[in-house]
Amino acid sequence: MRTISIALAVARKDLTSEWRTRELVPALAQFVVLALVIANFGFQFDSHNAPAIAPGVLWMALVFAGLVAFGRAFAAEREQASLEAMLLTPAAPAAIFAGKALAAGLMLVICEAVLLPALALFFGAPLSFDVISAVLLATVGMAVLGCLFAAMVARVRARELLLPLLTLPLWIPFIVVGGQAVQSAMSGSGGGTGQATSLLIDLDILFVVLTSLAARFVLDD
């Protein structure tokens, strides 16, 4: 109970500070739309190949937006050295970590709320419940892993360099399974989304448990 209220308090703090500065979310929204523009030139879109390419573009844009979002998750804490202050409180590191991951994940969800309609609008990719649920389920796992490594690289030299190197390999399971789910949902075949959804839930549980166990070693100095 206490852990949950601490996590919610940390998440609220991050979201409030984002609401006051309005730095990250508008930049992310712009970033994903730009990614779609670049993809248009890179792939030479037309109405024939759009359904086949759209899922790939979705995951590419999401992964790189995620890297930007999680790279910023600990930036303010580092500049103000406020993470140390939070760790001095009796709050459990895992609870603080959960709050940070929750806030960063929510910001990525807001960015998805721009990306998915934009994808539907520009590339004619049909949005269905299966697509949205696959993206949201993948976001859970991507948020906890991204936040864990963001916390780690925040204290390391060359952090911008290291975050993608560490995070991307471990995001691959989500991209593989989520990519399959979105591909079959967008092509309308429908088969396999149920299995992919349950696999995504399994992956989420695995990584939420692992990261909450590891959070203590990464945050605590």
Partner 1 sequence: MTSGITRYEKAAVAAVAVMLVAGGFIFFYAPTDALQGPVQRIFYLHVSSAIAAYGCFAAVLLGSIVYLWKENLAADRLARAAALVGLVFTTVTLVMGMIWAKPIWGAFWTWDARLTSTLVLWIIYAGYLMVRRLADPGRQAARFAAVIGIFGFIDVPVVHFSVTWWQTHHPGPVVINNALPLEMLVSFLVTMACTLFLAAVLVAIRYRIEVLTDQAAEKTVPAPIVAPSEAGGAR
Complex with partner 1: residue 46 or 221, whichever CB lies closer:
221
Complex with partner 1: residue 52 or 165, whichever CB lies closer:
165
- Return the residue of 170, 192, 197, 208 that touches partner 1, per CB under 8 A: 170
Q: How far apart are CA 170 and CA 138, in angstroms?
A: 12
The alpha carbon torsion through 191, 183, 104, 70 (nearest 10 deg) reads 140
Q: Is residue 148 close enough to count as binding partner 1 by CB under 8 A?
A: yes
CB of residue 96 to partner 1, shortest distance in Å: 16
Q: Is residue 201 close enough to count as binding partner 1 by CB under 8 A?
A: no
**How far is CA 167 from each of CA 59, 71, 107, rounded to the nearest angstrom?**
15, 11, 18
Complex with partner 1: residue 33 or 210, whichever CB lies closer:
210
Give the binding range for partner 1 (CB under 8 A) out of 43-51, 94-102, 115-123, 148-156: 148-156
Q: Residue 150 in contact with residue 66, Cβ under 8 Å?
A: no
The alpha carbon torsion through 207, 211, 214, 216 (nearest 10 deg) reads -160
Complex with partner 1: residue 71 or 173, whichever CB lies closer:
173
Q: Is residue 202 close enough to count as binding partner 1 by CB under 8 A?
A: no
Of residues 31, 220, 79, 62, the one with CA closest to residue 141 = 62
Q: Is residue 160 close enough to count as binding partner 1 by CB under 8 A?
A: no
Give the binding range for partner 1 (CB under 8 A) out of 22-30, 31-39, 80-88, 144-152: 144-152
How many residues lie near partner 1 (CB under 8 A)?
A: 21
Q: Is residue 172 close enough to count as binding partner 1 by CB under 8 A?
A: yes
Contacts 24+ apart (CB under 8 A), 38-42: 40/122
Question: 168 by DSSP, 3-state: which?
Answer: helix
Q: Residue 10 in contact with residue 96, Cβ under 8 Å?
A: yes
- Return the residue of 52, 156, 205, 209 that touches partner 1, per CB under 8 A: 156
Complex with partner 1: residue 45 or 149, whichever CB lies closer:
149
Q: Is residue 152 close enough to count as binding partner 1 by CB under 8 A?
A: yes
Of residues 56, 201, 33, the one with CA closest to residue 117 = 33
Q: How far apart are CA 167 and CA 156, in angstroms?
A: 15
Residues in the site for partner 1, rule: CB under 8 A? Answer: 145, 148, 152, 155-158, 162, 165-166, 168-170, 172-173, 206, 210, 214, 217-218, 221
